[in-house]
């Protein structure tokens, strides 16, 4: 599953568009993500600290009424999610829950009520866990608790957290190890990450993102929050999943190729 990341007010170019309610400019970007092959459109206005519910409601209404591609609501704020969820037309993704008690208890009932797919961060409210062992423990606990609470395994997307490799030398390795172990023990749930954090602070970020994507797919990652308009990144996605047996008769690779969704560059 590909979630298009471009509508995020932490991006300098997006903040003023949401500030000024520039519907046409937002829709042009969302359309470019949908046409590039995004399965969901991420909507994040977390930089609007005071009026996030109102801003997210505006964005959600705009996108849901204008474009068929379904929406991923990227917010930990239960008030913002509660306002936006009823506006969705297709399936919903809630991004995200974590093992932190308050967040867990706030978000879980919303996911149950709206039958949403749910992204779950390997975080328990303390510092980001350093080792694969700690992340595995949090991820496994989340999976078992969510399934027990009634979330179907197929609706659970575990996010093992990508840290910039420029800051955390072993961050990439820890993520790969966490996914490999959780995927082996819980093959029925999904794994997702925000890819581009891996390359923060480095030159040629697109190249770093692309090679990391290929490795995470080898470890069992099957879903990504990324820039779907990056055509060589999307080529890497279609090729990599085919190469690890996730593409019967290579039909999805061939279809994406026919649709001109990627290039070899």
DSSP annotation string for the chain: -EEEEEEETTSTTTHHHHHTT-HHHHHHHHHHHHHTT-SEEEEE-TT-TTTHHHHHHHHHHHHHHH--S-EEEE-S-HHHHHHHGGG--S-EEEEEEESSHHHHHHHHHHHHHHT-EEEEES--SSSPP-SHHHHHHHHHHHHHHHHHHT--GGGEEEE-----TTT-TTHHHHHHHHHHHHHHH-TTSEEEEEGGGGGTT-SSHHHHHHHHHHHHHHHT--EEEE-TT-HHHHHHHHHHHHHTT-SGGGHHHHHHHHTT-----
The residue (of 70 and 247) whose beta carbon lies closer to ligand THG is 70
The residue (of 11 and 183) whose beta carbon lies closer to ligand THG is 11
Residue from 5, 163, 230, 247 in contact with ligand THG (CB under 6 A): 5
Give the count of beta carbons closer than 10 Å to the beta carbon of residue 140.
16
Which of the residues 108 through 167 are near ligand THG (CB under 6 A)? 119, 159, 162
Q: Which span (53-61, 171-179, 191-199, 247-255) binds ligand THG, by CB under 6 A?
A: 191-199
First vs last C-alpha separation in the chain: 23
CB of 257 to ligand THG, least distance (A): 26
Residue from 69, 75, 178, 196 in contact with ligand THG (CB under 6 A): 196
CB of 258 to ligand THG, least distance (A): 29
Which of the residues 209 through 228 are near ligand THG (CB under 6 A)? 225
CB of 192 to ligand THG, least distance (A): 6
Residue 197 makes contact with ligand THG by CB under 6 A = yes
Q: Which span (4-12, 81-89, 102-110, 174-182) binds ligand THG, by CB under 6 A?
A: 4-12
Cis? peptide before 96, omega within 30° of 0? yes
CB of 90 to ligand THG, least distance (A): 19
Mask for 61-100, x = binds ligand THG (CB under 6 A): -------------x--------------------xx----
Nearest residue to ligand THG, by Cβ distance, number only: 194
Contact residues for ligand THG, defined by CB under 6 A: 5, 8, 11-13, 44, 74, 95-96, 119, 159, 162, 193-194, 196-197, 200, 225
């Amino acid at each position: 599953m590909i979630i298009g990341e471009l509508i995020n007010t932490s991006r300098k170019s997006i903040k003023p568009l949401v500030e000024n309610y520039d519907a046409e400019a937002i829709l042009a970007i969302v359309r470019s993500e949908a046409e590039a092959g995004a399965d969901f459109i991420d909507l994040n206005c977390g930089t609007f600290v005071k009026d996030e519910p109102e801003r997210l409601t505006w964005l959600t209404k705009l996108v849901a009424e204008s474009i068929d591609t379904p929406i991923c609501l990227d917010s930990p704020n239960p008030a913002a999610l509660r306002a936006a969820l009823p506006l969705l037309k297709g399936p919903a993704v809630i991004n995200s829950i974590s093992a932190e008690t308050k967040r867990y208890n706030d978000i879980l009932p919303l996911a149950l009520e709206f039958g949403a797919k749910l992204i779950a961060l390997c975080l328990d409210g303390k510092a980001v866990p350093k080792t694969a062992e700690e992340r595995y423990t949090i991820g496994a606990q989340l999976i078992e608790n969510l399934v027990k609470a009634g979330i179907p395994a197929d609706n659970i997307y575990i996010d093992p957290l990508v840290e910039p490799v420029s800051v955390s030398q072993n961050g990439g390795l820890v993520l790969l190890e966490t996914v490999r172990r959780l995927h082996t023990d819980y093959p029925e749930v999904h794994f997702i990450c925000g890819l581009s954090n891996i390359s923060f602070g480095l030159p040629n970020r697109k190249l770093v993102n692309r090679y990391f994507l290929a490795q995470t797919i080898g470890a069992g990652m099957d879903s990504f929050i990324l820039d779907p308009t990056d055509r060589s990144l999307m080529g890497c996605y279609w090729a990599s999943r085919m190469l690890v047996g996730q593409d019967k008769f290579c039909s999805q690779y061939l279809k994406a190729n026919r649709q001109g969704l990627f290039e070899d560059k």
